[in-house]
Structure 1
Amino acid sequence: MTTLLHIDSSVFPTEASSSRAVTEAFRKHWEELHPQGTVVYRDLAAQPVPHITADAHLAGFSDPASHTPAQAAAFAERVRLIEELERADAVLIGAPMYNYAIPSTLKAWLDNVILLGRTAGAGQSVKGTPVTVVASRGGSYAPGTPRESYEYVQNYLTAVLGDALGLELDFIVPELTMAPQNPAMAELVPLYQASRDRAFADAAEQAQRLAERLAA
């Protein structure tokens, strides 16, 4: 029985969020292909995880027997999130671009699950787990565009998820999502729609590929 860990971080509801709309489509395809599977869902906007604290950080580098009560409590929350990630056969993350970077709630989750000596560094307990990231953005930051150098979502998540944690990373990128709301971007609406359509198609294809891979 397969387990999908689904994480959303958009502050907007599905009807107003491209990242949520595409992750929802991916999840529906996944559930159709894994009717006996399990989906563990985290909505980081509705229920944020704790930002990393000194107690939570220091506890990751010391013997549990030496933890203070505050360190033990903080570290227990980190371990719960880490174990959730370790149990997943695949991971789905909605990561909209806010002010050129990922939402702070998603950064908080990452800070909790990145633990040297376990998920990162020697060992990489989640190495090889496939992760699909829906990286939506209001404009375009693709290679060759004027704002290419401001792309800090895919670059950052590649370093953290791919390099630090050893996850097998794929991106789905719905872009120009502000075009329907911004009159100055009106001429880009057809490109936005094409990007959105491609994102939904990519979600279906990626769910199918993972289903075939995990069934092998």
Structure 2
Amino acid sequence: MSYLLHIDSSSRGADSVSRQVARSFRDSWRGPVVHRDLEAAPVPHLSAAVITAHRTDKAERTAEQAAIAAVQEELIEEFLGASAYLFTVPMYNYSMPSVFKAWLDQIMVVGVTMALPDSPPAAGRPALVISARGGGYGPGTPNHGMDHVVPALETVLGHRLTLGLDVNILTPELTLAPVVPYMSEFIPLHEASLADSHEQARKLADAFQAAL
């Protein structure tokens, strides 16, 4: 086993429910961890420099191309060197934090991490996505169908034509119930969802390690 790669993208620091559930996973993990906090140190968004750098011989790259290519190569090496993954990706305005999308755009490269038409090099490696959200988005809720985080990440992280990871999802819900008065009736549901997410995170840490 090499290491667990933990990518954080919450902007709320210690108050982040996604980070708190991730801590339960980490507390059960026995082994090395590489932690990248995208809130503390965001990676560059895609630019013309990084896109054109791939088509330019290294000796002919501009200083800007060389600098951004070095960042991307570091991120890709870090991704490919992991044997398991932990992603904390809360829902912000029905989608993922822009810092996480920027990280994805940097590490998703056809022929490197997306080895089409062959299987991607990280195919089958276990991954856990923890995505806290302020409301409820399951079947029968008013917000059903408005979750644009989990479906997107299941495709981007888990599809055989993308990164091919074995993706698990935890969604601690109704995190606004304790702080928004009109949602106070949902506090018991939030507490149950949070407790279950902590328990499942610990179990998944053990399962990942057993599989590895």
Same fold (TM > 0.5) = yes
Separation (CA, whole Å) in 1 of partners of 2:170 and 2:137: 13
RMSD: 1.3
**Gapped regions of structure 1 (runs ≥ 5):** none
Q: Is the Cα–Cα contact under 8 Å of residues 60 and 115 in structure 1 kept in the other structure?
A: no
Question: Which residue, out of 91, 95, 103, partners 1:101?
Answer: 95
CA distance in 2, matches of 1:151, 1:19: 16
Deviation at 1:24, TM superposition (A): 1.0
1:41 aligns with 2:35: yes
Q: Deviations over 1:18-61 (max 9, x none)?
A: 1000011101100xxx2xx2110111111111111111122234
Letter of the structure 2 residue corresponding to residue 104 of structure 1: S
Greater share of helix: 1
- How far 1:62 sits from its partner (Å)? 4.4
Aligned to 1:156: 152
Q: Does 1:50 align with 2:44?
A: yes
3-state SS of paired residue (1:5) = strand
In the TM superposition, what is the alpha-carbon distance from 1:64 to its structure 2 partner? 3.6
Deviation at 1:69, TM superposition (A): 2.8
Q: Is the 8 A contact 1:6 1:91 kept in 2?
A: yes
**Stretches of structure 2 lacking an aligned partner (at least 5 in a row):** none
Aligned residues: 208
The aligned residue for residue 67 of structure 1 is: 61
What is the percent sequence identity of the aligned residues?
44
* 2:145 match: secondary structure: helix
- Separation in 2, partners of 1:63, 1:180: 55
In 2, the alpha carbon distance for the partners of 1:117 and 1:63 equals 17
Aligned match of 2:70: 76
TM-score by length of 2: 0.93
2:25 corresponds in structure 1 to: 26
Structure 1 144/80 Cα, relative in aligned 2: closer, same or farther at 3 Å?
same
Q: How far does residue 68 in structure 1 lie from its aligned partner after superposition?
A: 2.7
4+ residue stretches of structure 1 with deviation over 6 A?
none
